Amino acid sequence: MNRKRVSAHQPVLLATVAAKAGVSIATVSRIVNGETGRASAETIERVQKIVGALGYRPNHVGRALRRRESRIVAMLSPNLDNPAMAAIAASVETALRSAGYVMILCDTHDRAELQDEYLHAMRSQAVQGYVLVNAVQSEALSASVARGDPIVFVGRRNPAGAGSFVGIDNRRAGADAADHLWAQGIRDLAVIHPTQGSSASRDRVDGFVRRLKELGLPCEAIRQASALGLSHLEVGYAAAQRLIDGKSWPGGLLCPSDMMAYGAYRLALEKGIRIPETCRIVGIDDNALNAWIAPWLISVRIPYADFGAKVVGQLQALWAGEQPSEQLLPHELIVR
């Protein structure tokens, strides 16, 4: 019968306030939006009092429709289960909030078709910007880029061309790892990586190998192995297995992500190899948990906590009509 009664506080609208204040909704709207000089001081005061008393809050849907700005930003991230991705998400979310935006989070599971589905869905949500973490090449992405949508790429550059970017200098990160191991006097070095690595992975490995060559280590002296796999954990385990197939463990091992390092570590445990005494493992990311439960891991710390502010800065630049730009943040090798 009167099922509406059950929980139907009807929302307070501009009209509600306007009626109570004896002014038009236009006036209330202007006052709510801080437009001064369009109403007398007394009117403003009175309306504001009523707004407060009634707890009026503008309906964002109506506003978005009229102003054509939703104040929503979409963040597409592969597997949130990866702590590095979670850290980026947290950082971006916080930065967006302080800039007055809210974040829709989409987990693409690193799959192009899901990324496309989300890009379409977000477009019909009328989001104002996109943050693409480790994006993959896909049709809707190309279309979005071509349309000139405001996109910031994080971690991995636009797989199809230019675009705003926030990340680190991956090549230098690899080189820093090389320098460290070299300085420790370790010469039997190895590196593992995903078989179809992203540009980020490739650059890290590349920087590592190049630097070692500069230091005088012949290319063929650096053992390499790769593996396919769903997660970097499994890739690390499987690639390490291939690496040591019949052979001894290297004295130093670069893993292009902490997750891969964990995978390699598990194999080492199973084989009775002592880490870090027998083999120094270097990861990249420096997961916050390392300090607590993986002090054996040397890792390149990426300042994920600072990503959010940079990302929002890039978005605002795009909104202001500026050209896309790249922002490289400093990294730091952490040894415990």
Partner DNA sequence: GACAGCCCGGCAAACGTTTGCCAAACTGGT
Partner DNA sequence: ACCAGTTTGGCAAACGTTTGCCGGGCTGTC
Binding-site ranges for DNA (CB under 7 A): 11, 13-15, 22-27, 29-30, 32-33, 37-41, 43, 56, 58-59, 61-63, 65-68
72 is an interface residue for a second copy by CB under 8 A:
yes
Least CB distance from residue 66 to DNA, whole Å? 3
Give the nearer residue to a second copy in terms of CB position, either 73 or 175.
Answer: 73
Give the nearer residue to a second copy in terms of CB position, either 192 or 222.
Answer: 192
Least CB distance from residue 319 to DNA, whole Å? 15
Q: At what angle do helices 304-319 and 83-98 cross, to 10 degrees?
A: 50
The dihedral over CA atoms of 148, 151, 153, 158, expressed in degrees to the nearest 10, equals: -20
Q: Which stretch binds a second copy (CB under 8 A): 181-189, 206-214, 242-250, 257-265?
A: 257-265
Give the nearer residue to a second copy in terms of CB position, either 222 or 318.
Answer: 318
Give the nearer residue to DNA in terms of CB position, either 42 or 220.
Answer: 42
200 is an interface residue for a second copy by CB under 8 A:
no
197 is an interface residue for a second copy by CB under 8 A:
no
At 100, list the tokens: 């007055």
Amino acid occupying residue 75:
M
Give the nearer residue to DNA in terms of CB position, either 52 or 246.
Answer: 52
DSSP per residue, 273-318:
--TTTT-EEEEEE--TTHHHH-TT-EEEE--HHHHHHHHHHHHHHH
Which residues fall within 8 angstroms of residue 83, CB to CB, at 6 or more apart? Answer: 258, 285, 287, 288, 289
Taking the CB of residue 208, how many other CB atoms lie within 10 A of it?
28
161 is an interface residue for a second copy by CB under 8 A:
no
Q: Which stretch binds a second copy (CB under 8 A): 24-32, 129-137, 200-208, 287-295?
A: 287-295
- Residue 252 forms beta bridges with which residues? 189, 280
Give the nearer residue to DNA in terms of CB position, either 43 or 199.
Answer: 43
Give the nearer residue to a second copy in terms of CB position, either 35 or 81.
Answer: 81
Which residues fall within 8 angstroms of residue 196, CB to CB, at 6 or more apart? Answer: 228
At 135, list the tokens: 């994006």
230 is an interface residue for a second copy by CB under 8 A:
no
In 3D space, the residue among 331, 326, 335, 333 whose CA is nearest the CA of residue 304 turns out to be: 331
- Residue 164 forms beta bridges with which residues? 152
104 is an interface residue for a second copy by CB under 8 A:
yes
Taking the CB of residue 267, how many other CB atoms lie within 10 A of it?
18
Contact 207, 172 (CB under 8 A): yes
Q: Which stretch binds a second copy (CB under 8 A): 23-31, 102-110, 165-173, 221-229?
A: 102-110
- Strand duo 72-77 + 102-107: pairing: parallel
Instruction: List residues near a second copy by CB under 8 A.
Output: 3, 6-7, 9, 57-62, 64-65, 70, 72, 79-81, 83, 86-87, 89-90, 93-94, 97, 102-107, 120-126, 147-148, 233, 262-263, 265-266, 269, 288-289, 291-295, 321
